[in-house]
Amino acid sequence: MAETKREIERKYDAPTGRFRLPDLLKVPGVSAVVDKGVVELDAVYYDTEDQRLATDRITLRRRTGGDDAGWHLKLPVALSEGVRDEVQAPPSATLPRALAGLVRSRVRGDELIPVVRLHSSRDVSHLTGADGSLLAEVCVDAVRAERADGERTTAWTEIEVELADGADPEFLGKVEKRLRKAGVERSGSASKLARALEETGAARHAEPQAPARGDTAGDHVLAHLRAQRDALVELDPAVRRDLPDSVHQMRVATRRIRSAFKTYKKVLDPAVTEPVGEELKWLAGELGIDRDREVLTERITGRMDALPRTLLLGPVRGRLRIWAVARRHGSRRHTVAVLDGKRYLDLLRALDALLAEPPLLPRAAKPAAPFFAKAALKDHARLATRIEHALALPAGHDRDLAMHDARKAAKRARYAGETAAPALGKQAKRFARGMKDVQSLLGDHQDSVVAREALRDLAIQAHAAGETAFTWGLLYGQEQASAADRERELPEVWERAAKPDLSAG
């Protein structure tokens, strides 16, 4: 079974010649430096032929030696230099399935091959505090790297300082200050793998990225779509690992792409984008099975927590827990199965192909600012029609459906504003904030509609089991009142967002 740990470390280049660590007892907070001896490590690093993992700062290796021999996959943590999540699996002849899934969105079924092999003689020391607790592990690694074909080698010595679990991250700065006084500087390479690839000549440099974004509508739309495609790929392992909010963010990426296809259909040929959009709709729906249950359970739990204990009649918490866990377990398995399926990989490939050879229409060459303003205002007008329709209906099922349709239109208008921001500046950002306010209100209304359906089902189950349905009925009434509140608030919220100014600013 794979295990994950958060790795927070800093790497340094040891000065040339014979090197010894400075006296680390002088680091504030260190009471002892414990010599743990030398361990020999042998690691083979794997990647695709064009080194997609290395391009995304991901390392995959099979290592022998040390107390954590086996497969190691290191995934960078966004916006955090020197912080990675390391997923470990026991030794095996082939890549374990759990780790293979985590790189699938990058590898896309291509073969993983050895790219370099690293032999490290690791001298390990532990820095401990006054109470004997571990603060950090300091390793001096004498590294010898060789290309997979054995034709070229390189060698260097580096220092790794890895923070212990639960230790204050600021402690790494104290160690660094001491190392700098001894002439030790931060490593110029992000990892051993990156240095080995460069110095052995094994690096396969990625093809040049798309040119810097220009000022045409097509330039801006394609930049937006590339960012969302990259988000899908990057979120895949997070969804598989069940990280907080990962499913939601992945669904958002699919929605942003679909929304862009619709809003900018005069930039990109709909005959090409619509089939891809349908597949994105499918993916969002499959992911929603997991996400929607999570949101619904949190909402009902919050309502229940706010009730006085005297109104919690019967085993309501137990029934809700059983209801949620049963559906959660099934939906998690379903989500991973979707990400493991051929249809999902075909979708990623289709997005790649579309962005590699975008089906641009003549409007793509138009200046971005006026085009984006016109497109966003068109989405705004579409939203206005739907809100007017919803408010004209009497409270009930038909209005609920109309409010839900308006919510989807608000989301599309919001995305149009956000996409326009690089071209239109603060006015587009203000427009997007207004659309988000409308979307949030309508979203809360829809959540209430869905919650009422679930509460009715729970009440029926409780009644069938001989339990009182009083609490479920009470919660149902609260949700009904909440929906009515949102309906009363909508005209005022819409009025604030109904006069957009999308002049460039």
**What are the residue ranges in the chain where pLDDT is below 50?**
208, 210-212, 505
Structure confidence at residue 206 (pLDDT): 58
Q: What is the pLDDT of residues 333-346, one digit of tens each?
A: 888 999 999 999 99
Structure confidence at residue 18 (pLDDT): 75
Residue 178 half-sphere exposure toward CB, CA atoms < 13 A: 17
Structure confidence at residue 227 (pLDDT): 95
pTM: 0.87
What is residue 90's DSSP assignment? -
Q: Which long-range contacts (C-beta less than 8 Å, at least 24 apart) are formed by 423-427?
A: 423/215, 423/220, 423/368, 423/369, 423/372, 423/504, 424/369, 424/372, 424/373, 424/502, 424/503, 424/504, 424/505, 425/504, 425/505, 426/505, 427/501, 427/502, 427/503, 427/504, 427/505
Query: Could you tell me which of 415, 459, 454, 458 has the C-alpha nearest to residue 438?
Result: 415
Residue at 128: amino acid letter: T
Length of the chain: 505
Residues 6+ apart with CB under 8 A from 461: 319, 323
What is residue 48's DSSP assignment? -
**Structure-block tokens of residue 289:** 């099975």
Structure confidence at residue 205 (pLDDT): 65
Q: What is the pLDDT of residues 235-249, one digit of tens each?
A: 999 999 989 889 999
Residue that is written with structure tokens 């009434």 in the block: 477
Q: Could you give the domains of the chain?
A: 3-199 (2.40.320.10), 217-497 (1.40.20.10)
Indicate the burial class of 395 (C-beta count within 10 angstroms; 0-12, 13-18, 19 or more).
exposed
Residue at 206: amino acid letter: A
Query: Could you tell me which of 448, 381, 432, 389 has the C-alpha nearest to residue 409?
Result: 381
The rounded distance, in Å, linking the Cα atoms of 276 and 252 is: 16
Dump strand ranges (E) for 108-152. 113-128, 134-147
Structure confidence at residue 208 (pLDDT): 47
307 membership: H or E segment, kind and range: none
Contact 350, 279 (CB under 8 A): yes
Contact 108, 35 (CB under 8 A): no
In the chain the first and final C-alpha atoms are separated, in Å, by 54
